[in-house]
Amino acid sequence: MKRIVVFTGAGVSADSGISTFRDADGLWANYRIEDVCTPEALQRNRAQVIEFYNMRRRESLTKRPNAGHLAIAAMEEWADVQVITQNVDNLHEQAGSKRVLHLHGELMKLRSERNPDLIYDINDGWEQSLDAKAEDGSLLRPHIVFFGESVPMFEPACQIVAEADILIVVGTSLAVYPAASLVYYVRDRQVPIYLVDPGNPDTAMIRNPLTHIKERGAVGVPQLLEQLKNELTK
Supply the Cα-derived Rg of the chain in whole angstroms.
18
CB 64 within 8 A of CB 96: no
Indicate the residue among 35 and 80 with the shorter CB distance to ligand OAD. Answer: 35
Task: Decide whether 40 or 136 has the Cβ nearer to ligand OAD.
Answer: 40
Angle at 110 between CA 105 and CA 111, to 5 degrees: 90
Binding mask 58-97 for ligand OAD (x = CB under 6 A): ----------------------------x-----------
Judged by CB under 6 A, which of 4, 14, 183, 213 binds ligand OAD?
A: 14
Under 8 Å CB-to-CB from 41, ≥6 apart: which residues? 34, 35, 48, 49, 146
CB of 188 to ligand OAD, least distance (A): 25
Element (H, E) at 222: helix 217-232
Handedness of CA 108, 111, 113, 117 (dihedral sign): negative
> DSSP 3-state assignment of 22?
coil
Binding part of the chain for ligand OAD, among 92-100, 167-175, 187-195, 225-233 by CB under 6 A, reads 167-175
Q: Which of 10, 18, 81, 182 binds ligand OAD (CB under 6 A)?
A: 10
> Would you give the DSSP letter of residue 96?
T
Query: Which of the stretches 21-29, 135-143, 157-165, 206-214 binds ligand OAD when contact is defined by CB under 6 A?
Result: 21-29
* Active-site residue flag, 69: no
Binding region for ligand OAD (CB under 6 A) out of 46-54, 112-120, 132-140, 166-174: 166-174
Asked if 100 is part of the footprint of ligand OAD (rule: CB under 6 A), the reply reads no
Shorter beta-carbon distance to ligand OAD: residue 54 or 86? 86
Stretch that binds ligand OAD, among 92-100, 120-128, 170-178, 181-189 (CB under 6 A): 170-178
From residue 172 to residue 201, the character string flagging contacts with ligand OAD as x (rule: CB under 6 A) and all else as - is xx-xx--------------------xxx-x
Site for ligand OAD (CB under 6 A): which residue of 65, 142, 217, 222? 217
CA distances to 11, 22, 64, 79, 189 from 76, rounded to whole Å, are: 21, 31, 20, 5, 25
Q: Cα–Cα distance between 7 and 138 in angstroms, integer?
A: 34
- The SS3 of residue 68 is helix
Please give the torsion angle defined by the CA atoms of residues 103, 93, 33 and 176, in that order, rounded to the nearest 10 degrees: 40
User: Would you name the residues annotated as active-site residues?
Assistant: 104
Binding-site ranges for ligand OAD (CB under 6 A): 9-11, 14-15, 20-23, 26, 37, 86, 104, 145, 171-173, 175-176, 197-199, 201, 216-217
